[in-house]
A and B are shown apart, each in its own frame.
Chain A
Amino acid sequence: MHGLAFDIAHFLAGGMVVASFLLLYQDRLSALINVFALHSLVLVLAVGWQATIQEAHHLYVTAGIALVFKAIIIPTALHRIVRRLGIHRTLEVVGGVGRDMLAGTALVALAILVMLPVTAGADALAREDLAFALAVVLLGLLLMVIRYNAVSLVIGFMSLENGLVLAAAGARGMPLAVEISIAFSVLIALIVIGVFLFRIRERFDSVDMQAMDTFREGRRK
């Protein structure tokens, strides 16, 4: 039984890494949002499975919050935003899929190399979970670095946060109060970012970061 439980947990956490890779090469915004919803869904399953095998019931609440906010509300809201901005059909130029994939693979290797020796004393489940969580965080950061569109940056940020939740769930969970407050802060971040996206759009006619850079004052070479 323990072997099977471990394998399932391993599979779900690995699934989040795979979903992060999927995020990396989506050049259509709606597809990107859909993959993010999938990413969150896998997170919900992973946290839920952790709740079962750890018999930590508050993790069910965590999973529920993730399901409602990250898998349903945030993707829906992002879809609406993208549609209202009229950029749901635009293709984002994603330079060099192969390069990004290689960089992502290197990051996953780095995460495993860092985490496995550090957590030598912990049980195998937590070790694997932490390594995958770090990989998801790094891939989220990579997504934020390689994309130009503001909505893609938001997705990168949200997927990074998913990685943090995965880490917290694996390490015997975090206090529910902390989890709820983080969930709310992410939601509020979404609202603030959404408002800013419209403001930026109003002013610059675009949410492309490259376009915005040309407006910066006092820029030095």
Chain B
Amino acid sequence: MSLPLLLSLAMALFAVSAYALVASRRPGCSRQVYSLALAVCVILLGMALAHLLAGQTSATLTLPLGLPWLGAHFRLDALAAFFLIVVNLGGAIASLFALGYGQHEQAPERVLPFYPAFLAGMNLVLLADDAFSFLFAWEFMSLTSWALVMAHHQEPANARAGYLYLVMACFGTLALLLAFGLLAGPDGGYDFATIRAGTVNPGFAALVLALALLGAGSKAGLVPLHVWLPLAHPAAPSHVSALMSGVMTKVAVYGFIRIAFDLLGEPIMWWWGGLVLALGGVTAVLGVLYALMQHDLKRLLAYHTVENIGIIFIGLGLALAFQANQMYASAALALTAALFHVLNHSLFKSLLFLGAGAVLTATGERDMERLGGLIHPMPWTALAFLIGAAAISALPPLNGFVSEWLTFQAILISPELPQWLLKFLVPAIGALLALSAALAAACFVKAFGITFLGRPRSPAAAGARETDRYSLSALFVLAALCLLAGILPGLVVDGLAPVVSLLNGGAQLMAQHDQPWLTLVPVVDVKSTYNGLLVLLFMALSGTAAALLIHRLASNAARRGPAWDCGFPEANSAFQYTAGSFAQPIRRVFGSIVFQARERVTMPPPGDLRPARLEVEMHDPIWERGYAPIAAAVVALSGRFNYLQYLTIRRYLSLVFGVLVLLLLGMVLWR
């Protein structure tokens, strides 16, 4: 019933886009476009929520669009509804933020027309129910987001990021196209209902899974296909960065789930789970290591997206491994963890990117080494950013902790898996996950501490002002949602139950709403429980008690003592701890292996007036070993064939003639 309405609302976004195309230079257009986008997103969000919570059955619709013999199929089921919630929640809040932020845009005509279209594209990907509509919407989403990345194309770095993004997006779509081709089979049954009903032979099924990993993984940022992501996401305006990082990567995760769990169907091989798990573990650790080495605030956040996608894929890999062994209860736990993390990451990554956007507006700086002390001029932004940073670092009682804790619970069940390889692999992945969580916490201590604490490191940071109230309200809506999802995880888990049941052959986690005191009980036999409310209460009580005790017992008389100046003897902000110094110990431990980081100290001889220099040299192993050789090969090959551009007319004619004769000869001989 609601599907036609959902589709017409997505079309309404296109109408907003068309309006923006005409009116984008008018003053006030920015506000109109973003408020319309906000309204449409809120309605879509409400409808998707209603669909998921009321437990409605899936609805389908076929329109006579697209390929004439196929039509355009659309379907709204629990999975699509959940991801619609993620997309439109992110879309609504980014639009709310942009009501204020968009006023600072220098080139609104390069952002406004594409923004609603981008939202519409993401919605259509989720609703599509045949390969053609899916790929069309997917490409539409890619192209509009590319246009948004290129919004500030005068900067050469952005142009390069856009180019790389385009290449990787084409590659990903090609992989998905091939995957759908294999799924549809020789009869060309491209609508998802036919694909679901049919079976694929095991060899092809493995190939489809690999292609889905390539296609969806390149959009989501799975290592080693992530190279475009940390360049392209930060290049867009900040509210679009929030959408790309917080929401579009989730659409990619949706694509993978749709293919691997829904369309591919039984039988599932256990090693598929192992493959996805291993990729997820490597992605999580490498993502956070890259992030630690970054001093550009937005790029740091983008690398954290890579890390969190790794965590989501760990959950999905576990679910595949459990499903392959018919352990559906455990698979339900792993799937719930992954989907919960999808929601959580969309919340806190949007929050952090929007916070970075507020900082960018206030100071014009993204380089953390030139920020600092922003908590004084921007206390509210700082508070919201701190909540986001705590959430992404998986600190209780916030939401990041719950989903990572659920993932660990699923990992702890893994010894029950029968395959020895998985028995060994999964704990190792668990160790990688723990490592990445710890490193993420370190990274956000750096991100928050260097950006907001200390003293301003540049005049721009010193002159910052608090951001506008639209932006602040967007930040605080997200912060509140992070907290709510953290202390009421049972509600979210219950909300996810229909999705999990759809993907998991009917099995889902036990209902959480009748657990006493809002406790989260993931496994039936009460192995472990988590109560966010209790943790919050405990933290509030102990914190208040500690504060009271200190105030009561400590003397408030002024004391004088010898100055211990914390290595900060002069009031010069350059003497502060920097982002680089914060990352240095971790660079020494991990960077020397992963990034071949080398430090070189150049000490001039006595009497030389040059300053001593400390230089750090780092290599990106994936770029240098994986991409650079491919790029070099393409360049070399095109150089080799370049002479074909300069042939004479007779040579060209002879080439055509020769090929024709050769083909005819081949035909004669082949018969």
Mutual binders A and B = yes
B665 interface residue, CB < 8 Å from A?
Answer: yes
B8 interface residue, CB < 8 Å from A?
Answer: no
Give the chain B neighbours of A61 by CB distance below 8 A.
Answer: none
Q: Are A145 and B650 in contact (CB under 8 A)?
A: yes
B557 interface residue, CB < 8 Å from A?
Answer: no
Give the chain A neighbours of B656 by CB distance below 8 A.
Answer: 141
Q: Are A220 and B646 in contact (CB under 8 A)?
A: yes
B interface, over-half SS: helix
Give the chain A neighbours of B661 by CB distance below 8 A.
Answer: 107, 110, 138
Q: Are B646 and A142 in contact (CB under 8 A)?
A: no
Nearest-CB residue, chain B, relative to A216: B646
Give the chain A neighbours of B642 by CB distance below 8 A.
Answer: 220
- Cα–Cα, bound, A211→B660 (Å): 27
| B143 vs chain A, min Cβ distance (A) | 34
Q: Are A145 and B646 in contact (CB under 8 A)?
A: no
Nearest-CB residue, chain B, relative to A141: B657
Q: Are B654 and A110 in contact (CB under 8 A)?
A: no
A148 interface residue, CB < 8 Å from B?
Answer: yes
Q: Which of B646, B648, B668 is the one whose CB lies under 8 Å from A110?
A: B668
| A118-150, CB < 8 A from B | 118, 138, 141-142, 144-145, 148
Q: Are A209 and B649 in contact (CB under 8 A)?
A: yes
Q: Are A209 and B650 in contact (CB under 8 A)?
A: yes
- Cα–Cα, bound, A111→B653 (Å): 19
A219 interface residue, CB < 8 Å from B?
Answer: yes
Q: Are A114 and B650 in contact (CB under 8 A)?
A: no
Chain B, residues 639-654, CB within 8 Å of chain A (1/0): the string is 0001100101110011
Of residues A111, A144, A145, which shows the largest number of chain B Cβ atoms within 10 Å of its Cβ? A145
- Cα–Cα, bound, A138→B659 (Å): 12
Give the chain A neighbours of B667 by CB distance below 8 A.
Answer: 114, 118
Nearest-CB residue, chain A, relative to B654: A145
Give the chain A neighbours of B660 by CB distance below 8 A.
Answer: 138, 141
Q: Are A114 and B668 in contact (CB under 8 A)?
A: yes
Nearest-CB residue, chain A, relative to B648: A213
A191 interface residue, CB < 8 Å from B?
Answer: no
Give the chain A neighbours of B668 by CB distance below 8 A.
Answer: 110, 113-114, 117
- Cα–Cα, bound, A117→B671 (Å): 8
- Cα–Cα, bound, A142→B653 (Å): 9
Q: Are B646 and A219 in contact (CB under 8 A)?
A: yes
- Cα–Cα, bound, A219→B642 (Å): 10
B207 interface residue, CB < 8 Å from A?
Answer: no
- Cα–Cα, bound, A195→B2 (Å): 64
B636 interface residue, CB < 8 Å from A?
Answer: no
Nearest-CB residue, chain B, relative to A103: B661
Give the chain B neighbours of A111 by CB distance below 8 A.
Answer: 664
Q: Which of B650, B657, B664 is the one whose CB lies under 8 Å from A142?
A: B657
Nearest-CB residue, chain A, relative to B658: A145
Q: Are B653 and A141 in contact (CB under 8 A)?
A: yes
Give the chain A neighbours of B649 by CB distance below 8 A.
Answer: 153, 209
Give the chain A neighbours of B653 by CB distance below 8 A.
Answer: 141, 144-145, 153
| B370-391, CB < 8 A from A | none
Q: Known contacts A110-B664, A117-B671; decide if A216 and B657 are in contact (CB<8 Å).
A: no
What 6 A-B pairs are tightest by C-beta distance, nearest first? A220-B643, A113-B668, A219-B646, A141-B657, A213-B648, A145-B654
Q: A residues touching B (Cβ–Cβ < 8 Å)?
A: 107, 110-111, 113-114, 117-118, 138, 141-142, 144-145, 148, 153, 209, 213, 216, 218-220
A-B contact list, 14 entries, CB within 8 Å: A110-B661, A113-B668, A114-B664, A114-B667, A117-B668, A117-B671, A141-B656, A141-B657, A145-B650, A145-B657, A209-B650, A216-B648, A218-B646, A220-B643
14 A-B pairs besides A114-B667, A141-B657, A145-B650 with CB distance below 8 A are: A117-B668, A117-B671, A138-B661, A141-B656, A141-B660, A142-B657, A144-B657, A145-B654, A153-B653, A209-B650, A216-B646, A220-B642, A220-B643, A220-B646
